[in-house]
Amino acid sequence: MRIDIDVEYDDDEAQNKIDAIQRRGKNFKPPLEEIRDELQKAWTGNFMANGLAVGGWAPLDAEYASWKAVHFPGTPPLVQTGELFKAISTLRGVEVDIDRHKAEFSLNNIRIAKFHQYGTEHMAKREIIFEPAGANRRWGKMMREYLEDGGDGDLL
């Protein structure tokens, strides 16, 4: 005895989801732009909090602090003209390269920032740009959600 069972199903919805995931997988620019915006906020906040996000910046040495108090009274560390802060807070001068599959950020066009970021023989390291705590996990989740549903629960 043989029994035939026919099952009818509609896989259009599943196929549409798969197609949308494949389409989004070819272009990660939207979530990478969100990451850029998050970094911009984190770096600006770090700057305004004297490096608190990276453990705090070393105080200025006494000789330089005295000179700075005369020439730039009342300015916090890493601020004289405000140009460095403006560059970080607006990403002006920060090389930002976002394409479909990667994002790169560089301080190469902000000459003075490199000295602060890495320090020198005569200047303490005062980290300006950094990866925020927990960002890797958060960004991985953001990328997964973008692939699955465009990041907002809807199919693109």
What's the pLDDT score for residue 156?
39
Number of residues that make up the chain: 156
What's the pLDDT score for residue 98?
80
pLDDT in tens, 103-145: 887 777 776 778 888 889 988 899 988 999 999 999 999 989 9
Given the structure tokens 């389409």, which residue do they identify? 23
Q: Residues with Cβ < 8 Å from 135, sequence gap 6 or more?
A: 35, 38
Q: Is 143 helix (H, G, I), strand (E, B) or coil?
A: helix
pLDDT in tens, 90-106: 877 777 778 777 788 77
The 8-class DSSP code of residue 11 comes to -
Integer Cα distance of 33 and 31 in angstroms: 5
**Residue ranges of the domains in the chain?**
17-149
pTM attached to this predicted model? 0.77
